[in-house]
Amino acid sequence: MTGLYPIETHLVHRERRVPTFFYGTAWKEDQTEPLVRKALAAGFRGIDTANQRRHYHEAGVGAALKSAIDAGEVRREDLFVQTKFTYTAGQDHRLPYDPAAAPAEQVAQSLASSLDHLHTEYLDAFILHGPSVRQGLSPVDWEVWRRMEALQQEGAVRRIGVSNIAVDQLTLLLEKATVMPAFVQNRCFAHTGWDARVRAVCRQNGIIYQGFSLLTANAAVLNQPGVFRLVQQLRRTVPQIVFRFALQVGMIPLTGTTSETHMREDLSVYDFELDAGDVQMIENIAVG
C-alpha cells in the first residue's frame, strides 16, 4: 500500500483487535434495530452508540446485536461495541442515571444501564461524550475520568476514550490521566485539516482517532473538481473517496447511512487506494 498506514479491516491496538470502520447509530429512533441488523449483514463489526436517549436508541442497538448473535449470524467476540457516558446537559428527561447522584456514580449507573441495553457483560470501548466545559477540564471531568479508569481496571470496560474534545483539553487529559485514552472521537471538519491538531496529538500518543460527520460536515468543500476527478478516475463515489482518505491518514471513519447499498459500498473501500498526492489534496482541500 502507498498510504500512510496499512489498511486492513481490523488493526491490533494495545493487544486487542479493533475494526477500522464503524457504523454510527445516532438519530435513528425506531429504525435503530433494523438498521443495525442491516449494517451487521453488510459486514460492519464496529458499532458505535451512546446511552443518551435524546439522540440514540441504545436499547434498539442491543436488540439488534442480541438477535444477530442468537441467530448465529455473528459472535459477540467478533463485535466491537462502543457506547458513551453523557452528562445531564446533553440528555433529555430520559436519563440513564440518578441526576442527584455524584458524577462518578452516574458513570457507574450509566454503564450498568448500557450493559443491560446491549445484552453484554463487557464493553469494548466506553467513551466520555465530551468534557463538561468548553475550555480546560473541570473537577467533574476528572471525577468522571477517574471512575472510567477504575471501570476499565475492573474489567467491565476494555478501553476508555473521549469524544468532542479540543486539542488543549486532550493535552491536559494526557498530562494527568492514569489510564490513557485509547480513542478520541470528534466531528471532523475539512477546514481544520480534518482535525489535524487533535489527530497529531493522537498519533504522537498511540491514540486511535475516530472521525464522524466526515460527509455531512464537509458537503460544500467536497463538491470540488479534484474530488470529482477521483470519482471519475477511480469509478468510486464521493463517500468512498472520503472514507478511503480517512483510512489512509490513520483515522477510523464512522458512517451512519440508512441505505443498505451505501453500507456495502462504504465497506468496499479496502480494495482501492489513493496515491500520496491525492491524499494531500483532500487533506488540504479546505485549508487556507
Q: What is the pLDDT of residues 86-111, one digit of tens each?
A: 999 999 999 999 999 999 999 999 99
* pLDDT for residue 201 is more than 60: yes
* HSE of 85, CA atoms in CB hemisphere, 13 A: 29
* pLDDT for residue 283 is more than 50: yes
The whole-number pLDDT of residue 11 equals 82
- Band of pLDDT at residue 31, cut at 50, 70 and 90: very high
Least confident of 3-12, 119-128, 212-221: 3-12
Positive or negative, the CA dihedral 146, 116, 113, 13 is positive
Instruction: Output the CA–CA distances (angstroms, integers) from residue 149 to 14, 185, 264, in the order listed.
Output: 16, 18, 36
The per-residue pLDDT of the chain, averaged, comes to 95
* pLDDT for residue 5 is more than 80: no
In this structure, the number of other CB atoms found within 10 A of the CB of residue 59 comes to: 19
High-pLDDT (> 70) share of the chain, %: 97
The whole-number pLDDT of residue 84 equals 98
- Band of pLDDT at residue 4, cut at 50, 70 and 90: very low
Q: Which residue has the higher pLDDT, 77 or 15?
A: 77
* pLDDT for residue 53 is more than 80: yes
* pLDDT for residue 3 is more than 60: no
Angle at 195 between CA 202 and CA 277, to 5 degrees: 95
Angle at 122 between CA 207 and CA 36, to 5 degrees: 85
The whole-number pLDDT of residue 288 equals 65
Cell numbers found for residue 17: 483487535
Give domain limits for the chain.
20-216
State the burial class of residue 262 (Cβ atoms within 10 Å of its Cβ: 0-12, 13-18, 19+). middle
What distance in Å separates the CA atoms of residue 73 and residue 63, rounded to the nearest whole number?
A: 14
- Band of pLDDT at residue 2, cut at 50, 70 and 90: very low
The whole-number pLDDT of residue 110 equals 98
- Band of pLDDT at residue 6, cut at 50, 70 and 90: very low
Least confident of 3-7, 14-18, 28-32, 47-51: 3-7
Q: Which residue has the higher pLDDT, 14 or 262?
A: 262
Best CA proximity match to 50, nearest among 88, 6, 84, 15: 84
The whole-number pLDDT of residue 17 equals 87
Helices 238-248/276-283 angle, 10° precision: 100
Positive or negative, the CA dihedral 14, 18, 22, 26 is negative
Best CA proximity match to 1, nearest among 284, 274, 285: 274
Cell numbers found for residue 112: 450498568
| pLDDT digit string, tens, across residues 163-179 | 999 999 999 999 999 99
pTM above 0.75, yes or no: yes
- Rounded mean pLDDT of 193-200? 98
* pLDDT for residue 1 is more than 90: no
- Strand-pair partners of 46: 22, 80
* pLDDT for residue 7 is more than 90: no
* pLDDT for residue 286 is more than 50: yes
Domain 20-216 superfamily per CATH: NADP-dependent oxidoreductase domain (3.20.20.100)
